[in-house]
């Protein structure tokens, strides 16, 4: 019986092995199915080992095709994009390219697809980005592009998927692509999404991100799933020449007297409980212990409610709405993106100022229409909570207003990135509204721990 | 199904246990079920957000928050919500927001006056401003109206919650082990159909007393402990409940840190009867074969035959003659022709390979020779002639009803051919 290498459920199986030859290292015996099995990720290594050993085999695993993509839109690559491509080639077509948002990471992927000429799956974190990638690839290569996610499932030589759908379906489609492109690749090292990379046999892999570092330290996993960082440039290196000039302003907003009193009372209640329980919120387990003990008594429940109230008062202070109104008026001839920490505030802003809102509940068709409306000037502002944090391309947007957010550096840098796409004469500005003398001041300090916010002093 | 964050569990060393509802907690749970169902039923026509708010107002003790949230989840799962207004909210928003943007950026306009913009948009839409205001976000999940309230009783709700707890834990399982006893071959078949449908892999070992131990996980589990198959494992619970008794043990990755923990639970005995009972035609055969003078005895099948290329085959009956020869009978009735032909292919291949009799790895008992007789309805258009003379099985094609005498003749021929 000829040696047969096959792709099964996100793994590689080997049948007909004779014990005379040495087995490729990645294979282990699977007595559930009475065959040898290896992770699909090991395909390139296995094929190399079999070939080097002069072992003939029937490759039933490889389901991807070679195709000759024609670049229908020729764009002169920027020097750093060519450098990135060259570095990726030098790493045997596996690796991560780190470039700031707006610098043209997606064009590096286009160059990689044209270079490798293999069926390609692009994986992106949101439906907006999937739509954006599909549109870019279709226009660039002049072909139909497959879509997976948001109710769509069509697999073509060029296909775009969400991370969620890639995780769900890769064990069935992982043999159909020779090149994987992970956009916003810092998402990949989560337990679930990493399986999408492991269940694919694609020998060529490209990761794109502006923020490779993860708070949980799992970014090291990218080396195994994609490859090492092969090229990196920062916002400050590219600002002015390849990215829009920008400034950031932190605006301190006072709470009203009523808000201040309610804030202080809620904070006293919450911190009083924390002290009475001997909890240390600074410790890694501290907040979890607080929530756990908060569920055990009436006083605890009141403390948890008070915690939420004081946080909500700081994030959604009435004064912020007045400042927002002023900023929307000030920049009424420009395109603004308003970011909030939660959906409730986003909808409240939409209802109050009658500007379109995009949240996870917004269906794809309406999202597309809203973003087109913003690009064409039918809308001057869009409010969102988190779904526009990453990747979504709004070249005309020049104003970002962060009404509220988390302490995540990554989130804050990504939000800034939304307005950095270069356009002639563009001067971008990011406003950060912070409630004075509240916990939000500390949150703001944490999220500004990035070179992008150190370049220019905050003008608060 | 209840999500893992809502299940009530406690850790005991390396084990995770579901906190059982007993004593005062059970009484509170029963009372909560009544109150939740009553509140939801009274809220017919209200929005999902309002229903959730009403549920939050039901008094409960602080320590019962998670229990209460789980019960609400199960109750709301049995509801149906629909969008409230016939107005197209997306189109309505487009008109309102575009008009607002025009007013905002045009210096000739007199500033941004919300009421004026809404009034203008309402005129364009031919609707009253109040209706436009109300319908602006009427398509959101929280705005949907409750159109069908739960049909379950309070005890049923509690029972679903308790099963939901088990499923919630299994969502974080990387592997399960099952000690299974089924009284009916159909329950075994249902279980293995589920395993196959969910694309799970298994190992089987037989245990004393007609029980089987089945290890279940997925292909990738060979390399790392992943919870990817947790949903598929949780979805096995209804099939496991159809078995007489199942002792389930699971390896979990629990909590934010994915801590490895063990979990054990006893399932089964909750079948609705359609799988636990024996089909009428099989019951009739059993009685007919066991009548005095046939020279054969029959019992319900309990062996699992692991046949390469076919998977697990569960015979309905085991026939035994006076000399101790056993013939396994699988009543194919109106199964698919494909299923029949897969078995026939295997019988033919085994015969041609010179094995003479079916040589399958009967679960856990090593290599065993088995004689398999398929009882196939003539409506499946299968001819017994397709089998070569040396095949290690037989086919009894019947018209209408199964006849015990004809079945036994085929069984006898099978024994004699291989004697």
B69-94 average pLDDT score: 90
User: A268: how many CB neighbours lie within 10 A of its CB?
Assistant: 12
Cα radius of gyration rounded to whole Å, chain A: 25
Which chain A residue has its CA at the smallest distance from B223's CA? Answer: A39
- pLDDT at residue number A243: 76
So where are chain B's domains? 89-137, 171-273, 280-416
d(CA B372, CA B382): 16
Test mutation, A13, A198, A354, chain B, max B CBs within 10 A:
A354
- What is the pLDDT tens value at each position of chain A, 460 positions in all? 578 899 999 999 998 887 666 889 999 988 887 789 999 999 999 999 999 888 889 999 999 989 877 777 677 888 999 999 999 999 999 999 999 887 889 999 999 999 999 999 999 998 878 888 998 899 888 889 999 988 889 999 999 999 999 999 999 999 999 999 999 999 999 989 999 999 999 999 999 998 888 878 888 899 999 999 999 998 888 876 777 778 888 888 889 999 999 999 999 999 999 999 888 877 767 788 888 888 778 888 899 889 999 988 888 888 999 999 989 988 988 999 999 988 989 999 999 999 999 998 888 788 888 988 998 999 999 999 887 777 667 788 889 899 887 777 777 777 888 777 777 777 888 898 999 888 888 888 777 777 777 655 443 3
- Is the sign of the CA dihedral A306, A307, A312, A315 positive or negative? positive
- C-beta atoms of A28 and B63 within 8 A: no
Task: Say what the pTM is.
Answer: 0.76
A11: contact with B, CB 8 A cutoff: yes
How many helices (H) and strands (E) are present in chain B, helices listed first?
13, 17
Per-residue three-class SS string for B332-390? EECCCHHHHHHHHHHHHHHHHCCCCCEEEEECCCCEEEEEEEEEEEHHHCCCHHHCCCC
- pLDDT at residue number A148: 94
Using the structure block, give the residue that is written with the tokens 């406003």: A431
d(CA B203, CA A29): 14
Exposed e or buried b for every residue in A90-109, given b needs 16+ CB within 10 A?
eeebbbbbbbbbbbbbbbbb
Q: Is the pLDDT of residue B27 over 80?
A: yes
**Which residues of B fall within a CB distance of 8 Å from A296?**
62-63
User: A447: how many CB neighbours lie within 10 A of its CB?
Assistant: 20
Among left, alpha and beta (phi > 0; psi -120 to 50; other), residue B313 is beta
* Contact of B197 with B322, CB cutoff 8 Å: no
- pLDDT at residue number B392: 74
**Which residues of B fall within a CB distance of 8 Å from A164?**
none
Q: For the segment B228-243, what is each residue's pLDDT rounded down to a tens digit?
A: 999 999 999 988 998 8
- C-beta atoms of A379 and B98 within 8 A: yes
- pLDDT at residue number A458: 42
- C-beta atoms of A301 and B65 within 8 A: yes
Q: Is the pLDDT of residue B308 over 80?
A: no
Q: Is the pLDDT of residue B351 over 70?
A: no
- C-beta atoms of B97 and A297 within 8 A: no
For residues B309 and B371, the model is more confident at B371
**Which residues of B fall within a CB distance of 8 Å from A12?**
none
- pLDDT at residue number A354: 96
- What's the DSSP call for residue A256? P
For residues B246 and B359, the model is more confident at B246
Cα radius of gyration rounded to whole Å, chain B: 30
- C-beta atoms of B203 and A31 within 8 A: yes
Q: For the segment B185-242, what is each residue's pLDDT rounded down to a tens digit?
A: 778 878 887 887 888 888 888 888 778 899 999 999 999 889 999 999 999 998 899 8
Class of domain B171-273: alpha beta
For residues A247 and B75, the model is more confident at B75
ipTM: 0.74
- C-beta atoms of B203 and A332 within 8 A: no
d(CA A134, CA A150): 13
d(CA B249, CA B173): 10
**How distant is the alpha carbon of residue B407 from its chain centre?**
34
* Contact of A242 with A215, CB cutoff 8 Å: no
- pLDDT at residue number A296: 78
Minimal CA separation from A143 to chain B, in Å: 31
The residues facing B216 across adjacent strands are B176, B202
- pLDDT at residue number A68: 79
d(CA A240, CA A420): 10
From the list B62, B136, B220, the residue facing A11 with the nearest CB is: B220
d(CA B329, CA A102): 69
Identify the burial level of A234 via C-beta atoms within 10 angstroms of its C-beta, where 0-12 means exposed, 13-18 middle and 19 or more buried. Answer: middle
d(CA A427, CA A416): 13
- pLDDT at residue number B354: 33
- C-beta atoms of A361 and B140 within 8 A: yes
CA atoms within a 13 Å half-sphere pointing along the CA-CB vector of B24 = 4
Q: Is the pLDDT of residue B31 over 60?
A: yes
Q: Is the pLDDT of residue B50 over 60?
A: yes
Q: Is the pLDDT of residue B274 over 50?
A: no
Could you give the 3-state DSSP secondary structure of residue A342?
A: coil
Minimal CA separation from A333 to chain B, in Å: 6
Q: Is the pLDDT of residue B52 over 70?
A: yes
A285: contact with B, CB 8 A cutoff: no
- pLDDT at residue number B360: 37
* Contact of A136 with A106, CB cutoff 8 Å: yes
A363: contact with B, CB 8 A cutoff: yes
- C-beta atoms of B90 and A366 within 8 A: yes
């Amino acid at each position: 019986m000829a040696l047969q290498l096959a792709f099964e459920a996100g793994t590689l199986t080997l049948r007909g092995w004779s014990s005379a030859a040495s087995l490729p290292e990645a294979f282990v015996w699977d007595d559930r199915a009475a065959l040898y099995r290896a992770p699909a990720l090991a395909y390139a290594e296995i094929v190399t080992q079999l070939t080097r050993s002069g072992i003939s085999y029937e490759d039933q695993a490889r389901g991807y095709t070679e195709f000759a993509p024609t670049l229908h839109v020729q764009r002169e690559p920027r020097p750093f994009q060519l450098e990135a491509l060259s570095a990726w080639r030098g790493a045997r077509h596996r690796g991560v390219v780190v470039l700031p948002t707006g610098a043209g990471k997606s064009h590096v992927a286009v160059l990689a697809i044209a270079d490798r000429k293999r069926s390609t799956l692009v994986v992106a974190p949101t439906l907006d980005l999937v739509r954006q990638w599909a549109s870019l690839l279709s226009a660039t290569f002049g072909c139909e592009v497959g879509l997976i996610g948001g109710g769509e499932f069509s697999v073509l030589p060029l296909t775009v998927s969400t991370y969620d759908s890639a995780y769900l379906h890769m064990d069935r489609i992982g043999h159909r692509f020779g090149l994987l492109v992970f956009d916003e690749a810092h998402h990949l090292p989560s337990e679930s999404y990493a399986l999408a990379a492991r269940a694919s046999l694609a020998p060529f892999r490209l990761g794109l991100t502006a923020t490779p570092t993860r708070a949980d330290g799992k970014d090291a996993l990218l080396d195994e799933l994609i490859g090492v960082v092969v090229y990196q440039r920062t916002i400050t290196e590219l600002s002015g020449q390849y990215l829009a000039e920008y400034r950031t302003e932190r605006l301190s907003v006072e709470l009203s007297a009523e808000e201040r009193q309610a804030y202080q009372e809620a904070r006293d209640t919450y911190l009083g409980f924390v002290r009475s329980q001997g909890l240390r919120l600074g410790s890694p387990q501290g907040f979890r212990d607080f929530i756990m003990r908060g569920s055990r008594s009436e006083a605890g429940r009141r403390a948890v409610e008070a915690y939420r109230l004081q946080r909500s008062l700081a994030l959604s202070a009435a004064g912020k709405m007045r400042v927002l109104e002023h900023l929307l008026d000030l920049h009424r001839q420009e395109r603004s993106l308003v970011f909030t920490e939660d959906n409730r505030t986003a909808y409240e802003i939409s209802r109050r100022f009658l500007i379109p809102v995009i949240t996870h509940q917004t269906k794809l068709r309406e999202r597309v229409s809203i973003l087109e409306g913003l690009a064409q000037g039918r809308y001057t502002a869009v409010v969102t909570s988190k779904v526009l944090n990453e990747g979504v391309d709004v070249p005309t947007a020049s104003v970002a207003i962060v009404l509220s957010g988390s302490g995540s550096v990554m989130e804050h840098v990504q939000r800034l990135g939304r307005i950095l796409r270069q356009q002639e004469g563009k001067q971008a500005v990011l406003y950060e509204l912070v409630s004075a003398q509240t916990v939000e001041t500390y949150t703001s300090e944490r999220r500004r721990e990035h070179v992008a916010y150190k370049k220019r002093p905050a003008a608060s | 199904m209840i999500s893992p964050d809502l299940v009530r569990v406690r850790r005991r060393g390396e084990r995770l246990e579901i906190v059982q509802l007993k004593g005062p907690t059970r009484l509170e749970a029963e009372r909560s079920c009544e109150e939740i169902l009553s509140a939801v039923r009274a809220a017919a026509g209200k929005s999902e957000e309002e229903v959730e708010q009403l549920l939050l107002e039901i008094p409960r003790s602080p320590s019962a928050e998670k229990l209460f949230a789980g019960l609400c989840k199960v109750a709301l799962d049995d509801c149906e919500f629909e969008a409230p207004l016939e107005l197209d909210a997306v189109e309505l928003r487009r008109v309102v927001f575009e008009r607002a943007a025009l007013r905002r950026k045009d210096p000739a306009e007199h500033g941004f006056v919300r009421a004026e913009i809404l009034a203008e948009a309402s005129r364009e839409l031919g609707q009253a401003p109040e209706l436009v205001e109300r319908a602006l976000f009427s398509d959101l999940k929280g705005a949907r109206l409750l159109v069908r309230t739960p049909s379950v009783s309070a005890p049923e709700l509690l029972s679903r919650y308790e099963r939901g707890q088990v499923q919630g834990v299994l969502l974080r399982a990387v592997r399960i082990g099952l000690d299974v006893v089924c009284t009916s071959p159909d329950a075994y078949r249902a279980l293995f159909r589920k395993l196959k449908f969910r694309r799970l892999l298994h190992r089987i070992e037989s245990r004393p007393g007609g029980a089987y131990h089945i290890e279940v996980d997925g292909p990738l589990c060979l390399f790392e402990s992943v919870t990817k198959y947790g949903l598929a494992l949780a979805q096995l619970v209804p099939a496991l409940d159809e078995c007489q008794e199942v002792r389930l043990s699971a390896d979990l990755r629990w909590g934010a840190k994915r801590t490895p923990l063990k979990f054990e639970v006893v399932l089964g005995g909750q079948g609705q009867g359609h799988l636990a009972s024996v089909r009428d035609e099989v019951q009739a055969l059993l009685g007919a074969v066991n009548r005095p003078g046939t020279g054969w005895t029959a019992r319900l099948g309990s062996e699992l035959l692991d046949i390469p290329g076919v998977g697990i085959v569960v015979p309905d009956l085991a026939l035994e003659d006076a000399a101790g020869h056993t013939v396994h009978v699988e009543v194919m009735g109106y199964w698919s022709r494909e299923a029949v032909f897969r078995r026939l292919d295997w019988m033919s291949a085994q015969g041609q390979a010179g094995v003479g009799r079916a040589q399958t790895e009967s679960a856990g008992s090593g290599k065993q020779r088995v004689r398999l007789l398929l009882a196939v309805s003539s409506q499946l258009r299968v001819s017994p002639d397709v089998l070569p003379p040396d095949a290690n099985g037989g086919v009894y094609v019947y018209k209408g009803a199964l006849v015990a005498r004809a079945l036994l003749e085929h069984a006898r021929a099978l024994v004699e051919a291989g004697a």
